[in-house]
Structure 1
């Protein structure tokens, strides 16, 4: 299912990954400083192929993939939340050529509606953001995610766990 943002200046949509998106996602470029915090889309897609609880989502500007993230459900997210009705956002990236245009913030603002429409029984979205990734934390907070005091140790250091409670 597709969710479309109504801001005509920044027409973006969220949709389930399709094979025709692969070439654009594989060509994504991120600077090294950003790669430390997220997975590249092609690598994240490989994990999605072997894990049915990982759902790849593409951020489109018109019909062009400009961003990507994974919605992860099931048992594997227990280290992020003890809420059995939560879903985890992971591997968010916006291709370098499309950064600074507001696509990441808009996508995160649209994510709650997308999740509500496409994932029955989910009442919360959670995500982890590295403590040093200040820009990403600010982006998530502007989109409505909240830090409730929980942290965890991540692959490269401490992470804030941010929450977005859905109205179900």
Structure 2
């Protein structure tokens, strides 16, 4: 398994990527469209040994991160999802655990990953905690309700 930046070689797989529950995340297809117009959006894929997309997310350099942190050397993790075919096989956790090294390699000035997770999304909260993210004391109210803020230092 490895994390790689999205490229058009994966376009067909992205078009068939399925998300079981869209209550708390969006479709990768939409995030990629945004990334084509927004230079701060960086789509990232976790692919397996067969080069199949298992997990997708965006690393966002933009100002939205300041809703979650004051750290200018941070990235906002957003649109995190696992392809329905690969649910409950450890891919999401593997992606999150691989993320610090990926960021050190590709974004050497970044010191922190931050994200918001809906207060009702207990499964995601447990996943982020298992991957070493720390819940921050403050919250943010987003479009879909209160967001708990999680962060992880990049060392």
Settle same-fold status: TM greater than 0.5.
yes
Root mean square deviation of aligned Cα: 0.9
1:62-141 correspondence runs (5 A): 62=49, 63-141=51-129
- TM-score, length-normalised on structure 2? 0.96
Over residues 39-74 of structure 1, what are the superposed CA-to-partner deviations in whole Å (9 max), with x where a residue is unaligned? 110000011011101101011011111111000013
Over residues 81-115 of structure 1, what are the superposed CA-to-partner deviations in whole Å (9 max), with x where a residue is unaligned? 11101101100111111000000001001111111
Q: Distance in 2 between matches of 1:77 and 1:22?
A: 27
Return the offset for 1:20: 1.2
Return the offset for 1:120: 2.4
Q: Does 1:55 align with 2:45?
A: no
Q: Which runs of 5+ in 1 are unaligned?
A: 1-11
Q: Does 1:161 align with 2:149?
A: yes
- Selected match of 2:24 from 37, 58, 63: 37
- Selected match of 1:28 from 12, 17, 26: 17
- 2:5 corresponds in structure 1 to 16
Q: Distance in 2 between matches of 1:35 and 1:74?
A: 23
- 1:9 corresponds in structure 2 to none
Q: Distance in 1 between matches of 2:143 and 2:131?
A: 25
Return the offset for 1:25: 1.4
SS of the aligned residue for 1:89 comes to strand
SS of the aligned residue for 2:129 comes to helix
Return the offset for 1:77: 1.7
Distance verdict in 2 for CA 1:74–1:120, change over 3 Å: farther
- TM-score, length-normalised on structure 1? 0.89
